[in-house]
């Protein structure tokens, strides 16, 4: 047999709103002299890796960096063309060592080693020391012909072999309550209200896999294999990355798909919302009420229907008569040092201007979305169809039109943030043929899961073009790989109010964060109150709300929201009432923690960190924490164990009643290798065991890692009310510690130009000395002189002033013995 193999590789890079589009085309030509064709193995090393044919499949291995490798496989003779929507990194020159040993080729960078078996085509990955990380299953690549709305393409699959006891995490947001994704199967994953598809997982062994495909995808982990399979693909296309630990893997994924920009300081304060405030006076009045009560708040949210009826759905204009003076509304909110986030959608009603502009240009997707009825009666009258349709976010001109109306209709009033609802989008009355619909980038099926990435990205990119004085802040219901680069926080969707749902939010948020997207939250109190027909009059729900508020304090966004009943703090009583007092306590705690939270957000931006951290991220040597779904680190110092079951509601006769007579307890596992401090009592506890802690309604188990430095800010009514000029610095001994206090102008992009400051604190545990280093950097309005009040392992949030040791700081290094 004579066989000739030619592989062509040609990148084409046109612009797409600052988003790099990479087109890869691999063509394999062959000549065979025998009727029964069988392809011999063939390969060649390239400057970036290798390419060739193995097991009748064309392959290409390309190093994007010493830590990241791209793998492409196709049937021999099949052209491979794809558009990279998530990946924005361009390959960098990487020094490689190559060799051939029998039927195996080897490629090594400074960080990882790769072997490919030329008979089976299977690839194995090892660390630089030769320790196995992951391997493909022999004959694990699969290609099946698929007709995608007239386009002859493939259904593609790849199987891997994992270690028996290996834990893996990620895959986006799925609400099952599990942390490790071993022994899980998610079939035909598509974006949904409470499900966010991110085809990326990472291992406790320190590697990650990003399956770069946007069509409906199945993940299945069984003892014999771990499978990724997608409905549509011109070939198998995935990235292997090695970071040695979870933070390192996330750093590689963000290097590949984009870094997370800074949010404004005020976004980390408390947010009040509900479905929905029906007049501008009501919206402003809620903020005013909080100010009168002296309860801190930074954000108020305006939900839907400020535009009027359903035929005007998402006009992105104030057309409702009850919002007749939006400029006054914004002025009133800003005068109270508040900020407004407003609801916008991915769809338009037939009487809106954007709909009329997009319809003739075929920029609308013809399937049913929310709301289906033009009538606002409930239940909806389906004989009056709304005609609301999602728009084609894949079309750059459509994204331009979207922003143009958003800018002229809303942004001009000074609105501070965008609540991008239904970014999946809602797909009602689903028919499989809906996936055949044509978009700007091919069938809807082909690009289905990238919808939120494109829609959110369009708003971010356009606002950045308009101004750098206001940081983009987007709250969105759905996400895809790479969305962290667009200034977006994802919330967990329209979840029900129940203890079970609350419990599931913790591993849901952790796996989302482990998918390299750092900002996530859940509606405090849950969205639907269907389980509680008495609503806020139900004692069990009031207890649930208090516990949810406590959990929400330790998520990236602290936002109370829901349907069926209002959720403002004053709906739960007044000062002296248990639920009210618990909620107020945690809102105040959130504000005292702002210096810690804002500095952690800088760690996310500058060092690819995560705010919500599964315990294995910091304590992977302790196998006991590999699959603990109910505890996590908030930043790198605080261990949080939210209460997720009812303790103080009992059934009295036929009714439920609050019972605070007996104080209940909850157990917490403290990871080994550290000592820990009870945040509330200051009690020192050894790690590597479970400890029990009393949990009255206003207490959850909260522990500080020994070897931590924590800044505590002043008591305020909003985030920027007071300077951090008289800050408390808490040292928790037990190991050496470092903390970087980050400060900037709070709400612009000057930090990207280097206009910020860092103050590094170092604790020498053996010497008992705290050193405050020379300040690095400067920005307009920076404090040049300040006082730090130092204390060791205090109890509670309010410290005895007599225990504080004050030191004046003017930006020069100082050391203090504690």
The residues that are catalytic are: 421, 424, 494
The string of DSSP codes covering 262-330 is PPPGGGGSEEE--S---SHHHHHHHHHHHHHHT----EEEE-S-TT-SGGGTT-SS--SGGGS-HHHHH
713 token code pair: 């800010």
Distance CA 46, CA 171 (A): 32
The string of DSSP codes covering 131-175 is -EEEEEEEEEEEEEEEEETTEEEEEEEEEEE--TT--EEEEEE--
Whether the bond between 276 and the residue before it is cis, its omega within 30 degrees of 0, is yes
CA distances from 4 to 32, 389, 623, 635 (A): 8, 51, 52, 56
CA distances from 602 to 187, 428, 727, 767, 773 (A): 37, 40, 19, 29, 18
Q: Are strands 42-45 and 49-54 parallel, antiparallel or unpaired?
A: antiparallel
Distance CA 69, CA 209 (A): 10
Residues sharing a CB contact under 8 Å with residue 307, sequence separation 6 or more, in sequence order = 313, 314, 315, 316, 317, 318, 319, 320, 352
CA distances from 218 to 48, 214, 631 (A): 30, 12, 28
| Element (DSSP H or E) covering residue 703 | strand 702-705
CA distances from 183 to 162, 204, 335, 443, 622 (A): 11, 15, 54, 32, 21
Compute CA 61 distance to the chain's CA centroid, rounded to the nearest angstrom: 29
Angle at 718 between CA 713 and CA 722, to 5 degrees: 50
Q: Are strands 488-491 and 474-476 parallel, antiparallel or unpaired?
A: parallel
Distance CA 112, CA 185 (A): 29
Distance CA 346, CA 418 (A): 12
Distance CA 411, CA 69 (A): 41
Angle at 680 between CA 674 and CA 683, to 5 degrees: 45
Let me know: does 345 contact 369? Beta carbons within 8 Å: no
230 token code pair: 């997608």
353-389 in b/e form (b: 16+ CB < 10 A) is: bbbebbeeeebbbebbbbbbbbbeeeebeeeebbbbb
Burial tier of 10 (Cβ tally within 10 Å: 0-12, 13-18, 19+): exposed
Q: Computed over its alpha carbons, how large is the radius of gyration of the chain?
A: 27
Let me know: does 52 contact 5? Beta carbons within 8 Å: yes
Q: Are strands 299-302 and 270-272 parallel, antiparallel or unpaired?
A: parallel
| Element (DSSP H or E) covering residue 607 | helix 594-607
Burial tier of 681 (Cβ tally within 10 Å: 0-12, 13-18, 19+): middle
724 token code pair: 């951090």
* Of 531, 524, 528, residue with least CA distance to 509: 524
Q: Are strands 217-222 and 474-476 parallel, antiparallel or unpaired?
A: unpaired
Distance CA 172, CA 471 (A): 25
Task: Say which residue the tokens 């430095």 belong to.
Answer: 709
């Amino acid at each position: 047999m004579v066989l000739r193999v030619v592989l062509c590789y040609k990148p084409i890079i046109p612009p797409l709103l600052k988003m790099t589009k990479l087109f890869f085309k691999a063509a394999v030509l062959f000549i065979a002299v025998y009727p029964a064709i069988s392809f011999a193995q063939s390969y060649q090393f390239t400057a970036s890796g290798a390419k060739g044919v193995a097991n009748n499949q064309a392959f290409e291995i390309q190093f994007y960096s010493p830590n990241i490798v791209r793998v492409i496989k196709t049937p021999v003779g099949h052209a491979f063309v794809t558009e990279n929507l998530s990946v924005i990194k361009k390959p960098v020159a990487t020094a490689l060592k190559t060799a051939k040993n029998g039927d195996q080729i080897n490629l090594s960078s400074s960080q990882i080693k790769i072997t490919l078996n030329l008979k089976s085509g299977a690839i194995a990955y090892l660390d630089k020391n030769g320790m196995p990380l992951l391997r493909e299953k022999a004959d694990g690549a699969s290609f099946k012909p698929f007709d995608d709305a007239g386009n002859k393409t493939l259904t593609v699959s790849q199987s891997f072999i994992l270690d028996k006891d290996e834990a893996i995490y990620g895959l986006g947001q799925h609400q099952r309550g599990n942390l490790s994704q071993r022994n899980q199967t998610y079939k035909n994953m598509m974006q949904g209200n409470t499900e966010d598809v991110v085809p990326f997982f990472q291992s406790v062994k320190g590697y990650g896999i990003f399956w770069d495909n946007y069509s409906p995808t199945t993940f299945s982990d069984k003892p014999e294999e771990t499978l990724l399979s997608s409905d549509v693909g011109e070939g198998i296309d995935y990235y292997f990355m090695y970071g040695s630990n979870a933070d390192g893997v996330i750093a590689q994924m963000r290097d590949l798909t984009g870094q997370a920009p800074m949010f404004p300081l005020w976004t980390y304060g408390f947010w009040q919302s509900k479905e929905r405030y029906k007049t501008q006076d009501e919206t402003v009045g809620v903020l005013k009420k909080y100010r009168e009560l002296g309860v801190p708040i930074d954000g108020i949210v305006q939900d839907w229907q400020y535009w009027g009826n359903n035929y005007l759905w998402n006009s992105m204009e104030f057309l409702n008569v009850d919002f007749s003076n939006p400029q006054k509304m914004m002025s009133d909110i800003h005068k109270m040092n508040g900020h407004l986030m407003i609801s916008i959608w991915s769809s338009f009603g037939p009487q809106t201007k954007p709909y009329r502009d997009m319809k003739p240009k075929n920029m609308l997707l013809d399937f049913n979305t929310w709301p289906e009825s033009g009538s606002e009666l409930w239940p909806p009258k389906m004989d009056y169809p709304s005609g609301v349709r999602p728009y084609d976010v894949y079309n750059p001109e459509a994204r331009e039109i979207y922003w143009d109306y958003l800018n002229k209709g809303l942004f001009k009033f000074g609105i501070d943030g965008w609540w991008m609802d239904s970014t999946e989008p809602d797909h009602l009355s689903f028919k499989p043929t809906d996936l055949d619909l044509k978009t700007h980038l091919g069938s809807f099926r082909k690009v289905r899961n990238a919808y939120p990435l494109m829609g959110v990205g369009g708003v971010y990119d356009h606002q950045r073009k308009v101004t750098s004085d206001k940081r983009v802040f987007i709250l969105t219901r759905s996400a895809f790989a790479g969305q962290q680069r667009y200034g977006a926080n994802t919330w967990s969707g329209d979840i029900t109010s129940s203890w079970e749902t609350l419990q599931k939010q913790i591993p849901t948020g952790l796996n989302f964060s482990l998918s390299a997207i750092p900002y996530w939250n859940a509606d405090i109190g849950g969205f639907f109150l269907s389980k509680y027909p008495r609503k806020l009059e139900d004692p069990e729900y009031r207890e649930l709300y208090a516990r949810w508020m406590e959990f929400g304090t330790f998520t990236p966004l602290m936002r109370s929201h829901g349907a069926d009943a209002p959720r403002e703090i004053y709906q739960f009583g007044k000062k002296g009432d248990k639920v009210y007092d618990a909620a107020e306590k945690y809102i105040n705690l959130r504000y005292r923690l702002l210096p810690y939270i804002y500095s952690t957000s800088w760690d996310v931006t500058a060092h690819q960190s995560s705010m919500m951290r599964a315990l294995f991220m910091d304590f992977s040597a302790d196998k006991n924490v590999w699959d603990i779904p109910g505890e996590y680190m908030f930043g790198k110092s605080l261990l949080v164990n939210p209460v997720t079951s009812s303790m103080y509601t009992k059934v009295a006769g036929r009714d439920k009643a609050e019972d605070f007579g007996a104080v209940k307890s909850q157990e917490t596992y403290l990871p080994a290798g550290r000592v820990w401090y009870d945040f509330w009592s200051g009690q020192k506890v050894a790690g590597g065991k479970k400890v029990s802690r009393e949990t009255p309604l206003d207490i959850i188990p909260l522990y500080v890692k020994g070897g931590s430095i924590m800044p505590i800010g002043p008591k305020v009514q909003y985030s920027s009310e007071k300077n951090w000029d008289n800050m408390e610095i808490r040292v928790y001994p037990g190991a050496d510690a470092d903390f970087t206090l980050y400060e900037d102008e709070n709400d612009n992009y000057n930090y990207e130009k280097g206009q910020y400051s860092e103050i590094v604190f170092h604790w020498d545990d053996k010497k008992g000395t705290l050193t405050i280093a020379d300040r690095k950097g400067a920005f307009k309005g920076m404090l040049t002189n300040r006082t730090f009040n130092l204390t060791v392992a205090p109890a509670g949030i309010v410290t005895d002033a007599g225990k504080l040791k004050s030191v004046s700081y003017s930006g020069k290094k100082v050391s203090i013995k504690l």
